[in-house]
Amino acid sequence: MAPHTEQLTRPAVRLRGLTRSFDGRTVLDGIDLDLPAGQFTALLGHSGSGKSTLLRAVAGLDHKVTGSGRLDAPERVSVVFQDSRLLPWRRVLDNVLLGLDGKDAERRGREALAEVGLEGRERAWPNELSGGEAQRAALARSLVREPELLLADEPFGALDALTRIRMHGLLRELWKRHRPSVLLVTHDVDEAIVLADRVLVLDKGRIGLDLTIDRPHPRSYRDPLLGEYRERLLAALGVTEDHA
Amino acid sequence: MTTTTTAVPVTTREETPPVRRRRRGLAPGRRLPATRLIGPALLLALWAAASAAGRLDPGAVPAPWTVLRTAGHLWTAGTLPTDIATSVERAAYGFAIGLVAGVVLALASGLSRVGEALIDGTVNLNRAIPTLGLIPLFILWLGIGETFKIAIIAIVVYIPIYLNTHAALSGIDSRYVELAEVQGLSRLRFIRQIVIPGALPGFFVGLRLGVTGSWLGLVVLEQINATSGLGYMMFQAQNYGQSDVILVGLLVYGVFGLVSDSAVRLIERRVLSWRRTLSS
Ligand SMILES: Nc1ncnc2c1ncn2[C@@H]1O[C@H](COP(=O)(O)OP(=O)(O)OP(=O)(O)O)[C@@H](O)[C@H]1O
Ligand SMILES: [Mg+2]
């Protein structure tokens, strides 16, 4: 394993001139971006600005998309989708273990489920879980592989506000324990501010704003010092407060 | 509850509020035990009543007890068991071959582009030709023995199994393909853990059609080219005007059809226990 100092200096993700287009329409227009190892980054942008396109490129899921540029990403990447994407014909534990090998896989799977508070639900079928529980199971599935990079595309978008707040705490907690680099796509400015240490705004195919949020955790939505960040992000997104 | 004494009468609710709010349930509700037998039983009762009242011509539609008595005679005489065995054997062989062929072809064409190019068009061409129309040709090729009968039944069976399994295999949700890529599944594991379980519901639709098809094929074959078996028995009975024997044959066919369909349903319920559908 690489020594700790090297991990800090070498970025986990490095994009150089990343370009992606659909039918001649450029969605990502030469993006340069470094994500340091272990950093929690949020990616904001208008609907259709290309957030998912960028995330799918980093995940290596865009085989059929035309594009160019250099992309370095770690070997172990996990993705959390907006839907939990549990296979309905496998029990929860078997879903968590999907693609996992090794003698102690099952033990690790149980531990991961316990970590997200789903102890005792190992034998449940996915369609017996609530939306929040299913998303927690999906989180367990991506963490059990101990990813170096965790990509999440609006993972809480389908959840109610209360569940979402609890999931924020959980995600942050899990991140602290496992320290993967995180790239969280969201369209919720507050979610980005509360969770991430760095917030990017994708605009016209480029990173329009790169903001480091230097506030201690856990953060509260009502922290007045976060209001300043919120205003800058909303301005970058072209939203003024009285319209919001 | 408070009682108010005002000029305006206040309607106080007498009964305790219901625990559950009434809402029209759209699922058909819990299935009653053995409900599927009610219809046939009613029909049987009607038949018996009409026979007892003398409203049916015994030459055309004999009474249920006459049919049962005839069945008993045929059974003890040993002809019925032999005929049944012959028919079941045909149906079973044909069904087994059709099942294997349908599944293997569906896998080959659903999982590889080359296989699809070679197989899918061919099967659809085969489907366009009514299988029973192949009977004369098959008799010419294979003779009027057992082989051609089994071949025809196999064709009747493999087509629905192929079509439904292939559709299910190639209709796999692209979101699950993405998931498999993200989780780093090998191609073999992807097929075993995602494609095949995902295609099972479609396969069972085809299987049930195939089971029905095997009996249908059998009945037609035995009625028009009978040299032995249940159909032969019925064919002979027709020549001698024994409507009761014909009814015995139909009864046996019906029982076979019901039993095999129930067996498939049972297996389906076991295998697809993760599904919570209207019928659960
Ligand atoms: N497979 C595709 N084929 C054609 N166009 C696509 C495809 N995927 C995305 N696009 C287009 O690329 C643009 C960016 O899409 P993308 O999904 O990345 O947006 P997004 O920022 O994730 O939006 P949202 O917040 O609504 O999820 C959109 O205009 C979309 O129409
Ligand atoms: Mg998106």
| Helix pair angle (B230-239, B79-111), 10° resolution | 130
- Could you give the percent of chain B with pLDDT greater than 90? 62
Alpha-carbon distance A32 to B226, whole Å? 79
What is the structure's pLDDT at B2? 46
Does the beta-carbon distance from B275 to A88 stay under 8 Å? Answer: yes
Of B175, B184, B274, the CB nearest to A125: B274
Query: To the nearest whole number, what is the mean pLDDT of chain B?
Result: 87
In the predicted structure, residue A44 carries a pLDDT above the cut 70: yes
In the predicted structure, residue A43 carries a pLDDT above the cut 70: yes
In the predicted structure, residue A161 carries a pLDDT above the cut 50: yes
Per domain, the residue ranges of chain A are 8-236
Which position has the token pair 């999982």? B111
Alpha-carbon distance A110 to A80, whole Å? 19
Whether A137 contacts A83, CB under 8 Å: no
Confidence of residue A6 (pLDDT cuts 50, 70, 90): very low
- The ligand that comes nearest to the alpha carbon of residue A51 is 1
- Residue A70 per-residue DSSP state: E
Nearest protein Cα to ligand 1, atom 8: A53
Task: List the single residue in B with minimal CA-CA distance to A149.
Answer: B182
Phi and psi, residue A209, nearest 5°: -150, 135
What is the structure's pLDDT at B80? 92
Ion ligand 2: residues, Cβ under 5 Å: A 52
CATH of B61-271, one of 3.30.420.10, 3.30.50.10, 1.10.3720.10, 3.90.1150.10: 1.10.3720.10
In the predicted structure, residue A240 carries a pLDDT above the cut 80: no
Residue B16, both tokens: 């305790």
CATH of A8-236, one of 3.40.1800.10, 2.40.480.10, 1.10.3470.10, 3.40.50.300: 3.40.50.300
In the predicted structure, residue B6 carries a pLDDT above the cut 50: no
Does the beta-carbon distance from B183 to A98 stay under 8 Å? Answer: yes
Among B18-22, B123-127, B150-154, the minimum mean pLDDT is found in B18-22
pLDDT tens-digit readout, B262-279: 999 999 999 998 886 544
Whether B238 contacts B249, CB under 8 Å: no
- Residue A128 per-residue DSSP state: G
What is the structure's pLDDT at A101? 86
Using alpha carbons, list the distances in angstroms from residue A224 to A172, A193, A198, A228, A230.
Answer: 21, 12, 18, 8, 10
Nearest protein Cα to ligand 1, atom 30: A48
- The ligand that comes nearest to the alpha carbon of residue A25 is 1
In the predicted structure, residue A118 carries a pLDDT above the cut 50: yes
User: Closest by alpha carbon to B273, among A120, A125, A134, A84?
Assistant: A125
Alpha-carbon distance B234 to B161, whole Å? 30
ipTM of the complex: 0.87
pLDDT tens-digit readout, B69-86: 999 999 999 999 999 999
Burial of A165 (0-12, 13-18, 19+ CB in 10 A): middle
Length of chain B: 280
Whether A188 contacts A46, CB under 8 Å: no
Whether A91 contacts A123, CB under 8 Å: yes
CB distance A27 to ligand 1 below 6 Å: yes
Q: Which helix H or strand E contains B43, and what residues bound it?
A: helix B38-52
Q: What would you report as the CA-atom Rg of chain A, rounded to the nearest whole angstrom?
A: 18
Confidence of residue A9 (pLDDT cuts 50, 70, 90): low
CB distance A78 to ligand 1 below 6 Å: no
- 3-class DSSP state for residue A94? helix
pLDDT tens-digit readout, B198-249: 999 999 999 999 999 999 899 889 887 778 889 899 989 999 999 999 999 9
Q: Give helix then strand counts, H and E, for chain A.
A: 8, 9
Which residues are CB-neighbours of A231 under 8 A, at least 6 positions away? A241
- The ligand that comes nearest to the alpha carbon of residue A64 is 1
Burial of A84 (0-12, 13-18, 19+ CB in 10 A): buried
Burial of B68 (0-12, 13-18, 19+ CB in 10 A): middle
Query: To the nearest whole number, what is the mean pLDDT of chain A?
Result: 89
Confidence of residue A103 (pLDDT cuts 50, 70, 90): confident
Residue type (1 letter), A141: R
Does the beta-carbon distance from A78 to B175 stay under 8 Å? Answer: no
CA of B25 vs chain A CAs: smallest distance (Å)? 19
Q: How far is the CA of A50 from the centre of ligand 1 (A)?
A: 6
What is the structure's pLDDT at A11? 84
Among B37-46, B142-151, B218-227, the minimum mean pLDDT is found in B218-227
CB distance A48 to ligand 1 below 6 Å: yes
CB distance A49 to ligand 1 below 6 Å: yes
In the predicted structure, residue B24 carries a pLDDT above the cut 90: no
Of B178, B183, B274, the CB nearest to A89: B274
